[in-house]
Amino acid sequence: MSAPTREAVVELLRAVHDPELHRSIVDLGMVGEVEVRGGHVTVPIRLTIAGCPLKAEIQRRVTDALGGMPGVEIVQVTMDTMTDEERRALRSGLTGGDDRPSPFAAGSRTTVIGIASGKGGVGKSSITANLAVALARTGATVGLLDADVYGYSIPRMMGVTRPAVAVDDLMMPIEAHGVRMMSIGFLTEEDSPVIWRGPMLHKALTSFVTEVWWDDPDYLLVDLPPGTGDVALSLAQLLPTASFVIVTTPQLAAQRVARRAAAMAARVNLPVAGVIENMSYFVAPDTGTRYEVFSGGGGQLLASELGVPLLGRIPLEPAVAEAGDGGLPVVAADPASPAAVALLETARAVAAAVPRPVAAPS
Ligand SMILES: Nc1ncnc2c1ncn2[C@@H]1O[C@H](COP(=O)(O)OP(=O)(O)OP(=O)(O)O)[C@@H](O)[C@H]1O
Ligand SMILES: [Mg+2]
């Protein structure tokens, strides 16, 4: 059998995508001089950073792509690291070279949704993680920005322990369960307290929006810290097309939460798209009987107070907490469980309720 040509090898490699950047490794400039000696093909790969965590995956993709090529007997992948100059070229290739102040400024194609609450511990982060995974499962591209700088929980809930990497000065989101995420937890040692204050907090959030390669996803979900305040203000500046979804629990005094949420939304001049009630009821696993543990109907009351729809009621279910602790959100871990079914339904309701970007996706 005749040996493959170098051109044919490069052509096949064109179909190999970087697992993180979702672009052809050839177009990204990651493939060096390919050598073909008889059936022996050597592919030098230039990684964006030394010790790239996805090294093995890239190697596997290259080997898989060339393994079945007629005439190829041995595929040898060598790994090297890009020079600073190559990284800069790659970075400006990704962002088009233009210095966009915020990729989510007016005119962006992304639907931005901030998940907020009037009170801590109601399940914002759990719901954000699950909605993100649920939306990704519908085929949408989804980004998740963890704006809870002091009390971040997205890395744990999504099961990510590796640090984020940067190409030149552009940070790469970390992808898990089909969702591309950025969190302060990817940049600090676990359990080291984050002690940034006011202006630094704004700077961190600005970096998370402008210096991360979000790649214009269909949705960007933002997990907000408990309460209102500075973070909402910063985000409103950076994400001017965002709308809020407010999470509450049945027993919370709806009027008080409503007043706070409405005040926050009005202060930053962003709309509230709807309410999600969490820990609403309990379904007995043996009998399937539904118990309304907390009477109160806080979700419906809050929605009525705000004049917005109630987008879903999520049952109290140990699997939600267990899945969160295990790093696999319940919609992925146990999609048939009552909480997962409710969350998947809620994701559809959220998608239908949030305002679409003015500039329709092309
Ligand atoms: N539907 C549910 N059923 C059972 N446990 C839940 C449910 N929703 C959330 N939890 C659990 O409740 C706790 C608080 O949830 P979570 O961290 O998502 O709340 P939060 O509003 O983001 O909190 P914070 O205000 O601290 O950011 C977690 O331990 C989580 O696993
Ligand atoms: Mg949280």
Cα 176 to Cα 162: distance, rounded to the nearest angstrom: 11
| CA angle in degrees (0–180, nearest 5) for 260-261-263 | 65
Mean pLDDT, range 148-162, rounded to an integer: 91
- Give this prediction's pTM: 0.84
Token pair belonging to 36: 């073909």
Mean pLDDT, range 75-99, rounded to an integer: 81
pLDDT beyond 80 at 46: yes
Report which protein residue has its CA nearest ligand 1's atom 29. 321
| Ligand 1 atom nearest to CA at 321 | 31
Mean pLDDT, range 222-231, rounded to an integer: 81
Task: Provide the pLDDT confidence category of residue 362 given band limits of 50, 70 and 90.
Answer: very low
| Topology of the domain comprising 6-82 | GMP Synthetase; Chain A, domain 3 (3.30.300)
Quote the strand ranges of 49-91, DSSP E: 74-81
Supply the angle between the helices 230-238 and 198-210 in degrees, to the nearest 10.
Answer: 30
Cα 161 to Cα 359: distance, rounded to the nearest angstrom: 36
Query: Among all ligands shown, which has an atom nearest to the Cα of 249?
Result: 1
Token pair belonging to 71: 């005439």
Cα 242 to Cα 268: distance, rounded to the nearest angstrom: 10
- Residue 278: CB within 6 Å of ligand 1? yes
Cα 124 to middle of ligand 1, angstroms? 7
Cα 291 to Cα 178: distance, rounded to the nearest angstrom: 33
In this prediction, residue 360 carries a pLDDT of: 47
Token pair belonging to 234: 């910063």
- Residue 158 has φ and ψ, to the nearest 5°, of -100, 5
Mean pLDDT, range 234-257, rounded to an integer: 85
DSSP letters spanning 297-347:
-HHHHHHHHHT--EEEEE---HHHHHHHHHTS-HHHH-TTSHHHHHHHHHH
Domain boundaries, the chain: 6-82, 111-353
Cα 177 to Cα 134: distance, rounded to the nearest angstrom: 10
111-353 matches 6-82 in CATH topology:
no
The pLDDT tens digits of the residues spanning 246-284 come to 999 888 676 677 778 878 888 888 999 999 999 999 999
Residue whose CB lies within 8 A of the most ligand 1 atoms, among 126, 131, 146, 257, for a mutation test:
126
Query: Among all ligands shown, which has an atom nearest to the Cα of 227?
Result: 1
Q: How high does pLDDT run on average in the chain?
A: 87
Query: Among all ligands shown, which has an atom nearest to the Cα of 277?
Result: 1
Query: Cβ distance 216 to 108 under 8 Å?
Result: yes
Question: 170-171 and 166-167 as β-strands: parallel, antiparallel, unpaired?
Answer: antiparallel
Cα 153 to middle of ligand 1, angstroms? 10
In this prediction, residue 358 carries a pLDDT of: 67
| CA angle in degrees (0–180, nearest 5) for 203-209-211 | 80
Residue 328 half-sphere exposure, CB side, CA atoms within 13 Å? Answer: 6
Question: 282-283 and 290-291 as β-strands: parallel, antiparallel, unpaired?
Answer: antiparallel
User: Residues with Cβ within 5 Å of ion ligand 2?
Assistant: 124-125
In this prediction, residue 195 carries a pLDDT of: 57
Closest CA to 343 of 267, 288, 277: 277
Task: List Cα–Cα distances, 248 to 89, 115, 172, 227, 292, in angstroms.
Answer: 46, 11, 32, 12, 15
pLDDT above 70 coverage of the chain, percent: 91
The pLDDT tens digits of the residues spanning 193-209 come to 555 556 677 888 888 99
Cα 105 to middle of ligand 1, angstroms? 31
DSSP-derived 3-state class of residue 174: strand
For the domain covering 111-353, report its CATH number: 3.40.50.300
Query: Cβ distance 220 to 192 under 8 Å?
Result: no
Query: Cβ distance 201 to 95 under 8 Å?
Result: no
Cα 261 to Cα 263: distance, rounded to the nearest angstrom: 5
